[in-house]
Structure 1
């Protein structure tokens, strides 16, 4: 067991045990609410070696989990090489839009991927095209990708459904039924849209949604991450991810983000305190990680759930599912 000095614990008592690594800013879709990982202008992408070095260093400080995201991470043709270069970890997952998943699910599993999150906001092809600026037929590619992920053992597959006012808020029951049909291999994550790009106009009453889930739940479990509740409704498992105005979300954050061009990002919602490690020597990485932890401040605090501003630039993440 590691001592406290060997862990990445910030001054608010939050220990980082998970990395979220953006592999690319590139994407084959353009969702109406997307706001990338906070480094929209970057085009340089970390090498396999750079990713392996930062994960190996973090693992020595007790980091056990890595989630890869984008952009669309499956646009990286070397993703399997990245997975093979990682140290032994408790959980390695990826968040993808699923369009390219069908042909790679098995090779990703063989390379060391444990789980997959698939962004899927609707089961209606026309709505899908509207939300993603893609093609209606892309929805079928995503559904086939989910089936391939289940077949490959990348389970439980988590379905990330960003809830959008006036578009898909009437599809929760349909999505729950979709999850039920897959006999425990799927978990639904309903995600509160973040207030970036055009997101604010699609926001719904989060309290009301959560109360509805509680009302219909046969069982309620508490996840350690963010103290998030998981609801079992007629055999389907569903979580509601609420990153906005949520002090509980911030107080229980155990994740450090890394941008696609190689910067440590201490907070999901802050973009002016990043630490560049692209030119760092391997022996410099531990101190850079410690520095990033010193910069971690909960964006939403318990006291009146006030927002901490401190001259920050607020930039979000493509999605907030785990």
Structure 2
């Protein structure tokens, strides 16, 4: 779908600036997951560990069809968003994963499609995944043994399934990356995860915990990234800091050409407009770095503020109007008038 950007009186500046600063469009295909990671925020929906403990608390019902997702995606890409991430829950659990990912709009060299997955179902769906236009698969690897997997994700799935999923992704895609949330439960395995990544020439990102209400009960599990930073400095002197763009600052290390990122809260974060007076700003370590489109027909610029979620369901029958509505929403957010 090609969207004609409408009348001149609509201000596209905030949305385009967000896109130019490498802001992400995150498309959550489903809130369902076959893991129950204790820190999960489920892209702003009810997380699986919460549902597991409190059966009366359920995620939102799905309102979007595959066609709806593709229409929204195409329109927002035409409006300038270039970095698209498909998430969940676990996105490969969604019945919409195949019809969406196998019909992605054609894109130019400056646009990327990334699948974020826990790796457990990659081998199962390898046949059709290999036909998609995905540029990258990013696998969450927060554990490196059955013991730490159980402690972190509360699942009976074995680590071998996840490691095999990573190998399946490598068989299909040139670009496969790992991301690891640094925590007390995996602190003893961080070096092993790094070695695994370097042996396979996989970029890896180590991330400090984002402190939110979703994980308040396990704050004792949060540890800083200084330990892995110190270790990386024994392996390389190629280090730089990036604080431009959107979201949190990061340290970038390169070892034999492989990029290792560390999302480090000490480098600061990027806030906009109403973030200055936001009542939850003291809890926020992310800033405004993504627009999230969810399976229930919402678009949200901030996970911590449910009141900022925009309902696009009334526009799904007129998808050509959605980019303009999103542009207005982002402008109001950045100006602090939302």
Scaled to the shorter chain, the TM-score interval is 0.7 to 0.9
1:124-167 deviation digits (Å, cap 9, x = unpaired)? 111111211111x52111111100100112x32221111112x1
Q: 1:91 aligns with which of 105, 112, 116?
A: 112
**CA distance in 2: counterparts of 1:5 and 1:179, whole angstroms:** 49
Residues 94 and 11 (structure 1), Cα distance of their counterparts in 2 relative to 1, 3 Å cut: closer
Q: 1:279 aligns with which of 309, 314, 319?
A: 314
Residues 29 and 120 (structure 1), Cα distance of their counterparts in 2 relative to 1, 3 Å cut: same
Q: CA deviation at 1:290?
A: 1.1
Q: Does the CA contact (< 8 Å) of 2:239 and 2:253 recur in 1?
A: yes
Q: 1:71 aligns with which of 89, 101, 108?
A: 89
Q: Does the CA contact (< 8 Å) of 2:254 and 2:260 recur in 1?
A: yes
Secondary structure at 2:38 match in 1: coil
| Residue matched to 2:180 | 161
Q: CA deviation at 1:42?
A: 0.5
1:153-232 matched pairs, under 5 angstroms? 153=173, 155-165=174-184, 167-182=185-200, 184=201, 186-195=202-211, 196-197=214-215, 198-206=217-225, 209-210=228-229, 212-214=231-233, 216-221=235-240, 226=246, 227-232=249-254
Q: CA deviation at 1:112?
A: 1.6
| Residue matched to 2:328 | 291
Q: Does the CA contact (< 8 Å) of 2:15 and 2:327 recur in 1?
A: no
Q: CA deviation at 1:248?
A: 3.1
Structure 1: state its 5+ residue gaps: 299-307, 313-322
Residues 125 and 5 (structure 1), Cα distance of their counterparts in 2 relative to 1, 3 Å cut: farther
1:108 aligns with 2:129: yes
| Residue matched to 1:239 | 261
**CA distance in 2: counterparts of 1:177 and 1:117, whole angstroms:** 17
Q: Does the CA contact (< 8 Å) of 2:28 and 2:86 recur in 1?
A: yes
Q: Does the CA contact (< 8 Å) of 1:188 and 1:239 recur in 2?
A: yes
Residues 18 and 236 (structure 1), Cα distance of their counterparts in 2 relative to 1, 3 Å cut: closer
Secondary structure at 1:292 match in 2: helix
Q: 1:145 aligns with which of 160, 165, 173?
A: 165
Q: CA deviation at 1:10?
A: 2.4
| Residue matched to 1:10 | 14
1:22 aligns with 2:43: no
Q: Does the CA contact (< 8 Å) of 1:74 and 1:96 recur in 2?
A: yes
Secondary structure at 1:193 match in 2: coil
Q: CA deviation at 1:77?
A: 2.9
Q: CA deviation at 1:8?
A: 4.8
**CA distance in 2: counterparts of 1:141 and 1:95, whole angstroms:** 16
Q: How many residues align?
A: 293
TM-score computed with the length of structure 1 as normaliser: 0.80
**CA distance in 1: counterparts of 2:71 and 2:149, whole angstroms:** 38
Q: Does the CA contact (< 8 Å) of 1:96 and 1:116 recur in 2?
A: yes
| Residue matched to 1:260 | 295
**CA distance in 1: counterparts of 2:207 and 2:12, whole angstroms:** 28
Q: CA deviation at 1:203?
A: 1.4
Secondary structure at 1:189 match in 2: strand
